[in-house]
Amino acid sequence: DSGVTQTPKHLITATGQRVTLRCSPRSGDLSVYWYQQSLDQGLQFLIHYYNGEERAKGNILERFSAQQFPDLHSELNLSSLELGDSALYFCASSGPWQGRDVYNSPLHFGNGTRLTVT
């Protein structure tokens, strides 16, 4: 068990709908990363938050947004869903940065949310 909790485990919804995926990082971790895993695209980085602030964006669609709350849990919001959004969505967390150019602690992944858009 990585200590990263993602809910729900499965989500089935229709095209055009909006869903929210939730992630609770490991205790003490300040970073939350979101990844999308699909058969044809592999594991794609979406977005990174550190202690409530957005730090980096990857291949995240404008229809998608995320936030990290003061208690450090994070939510990924997916709207105007399309069939192609069906995928596994993973959250990962890592520990506090320990200073400039110092090794960043490893990413630990949750077990993901499987989203099916019909």
Partner 1 sequence: GENVEQHPSTLSVQEGDSAVIKCTYSDSASNYFPWYKQELGKGPQLIIDIRSNVGEKKDQRIAVTLNKTAKHFSLHITETQPEDSAVYFCAASRIYNQGGKLIFGQGTELSVKP
Does residue 7 bind partner 1 (CB under 8 A)?
A: no
Q: Which residue's CB is nearer to partner 1, number 84 or number 96?
A: 96
Taking CB under 8 A as the binding criterion, the range among 12-20, 21-29, 65-73, 88-96 that sits at the site for partner 1 is 88-96
Neighbouring residues of 41: CB distance < 8 A, sequence distance ≥ 6: none
Q: Which residue is associated with the tokens 């980096």?
A: 56
Q: How far is CA 67 from the centre of its chain?
A: 10
Residue 59 sits at φ, ψ, to 5 deg, of -85, 60
Q: Which residue's CB is nearer to partner 1, number 65 or number 111?
A: 111
Q: How many residues bind partner 1 (CB under 8 A)?
A: 30
From 8, 17, 18, 56, residue interacting with partner 1 (rule: CB under 8 A): 56
Tokens representing 110? 């949750």
Q: 3-class DSSP state for residue 81?
A: coil
- Contact track, partner 1, 33-52, x by CB under 8 A: x--------xxxx--x-x--
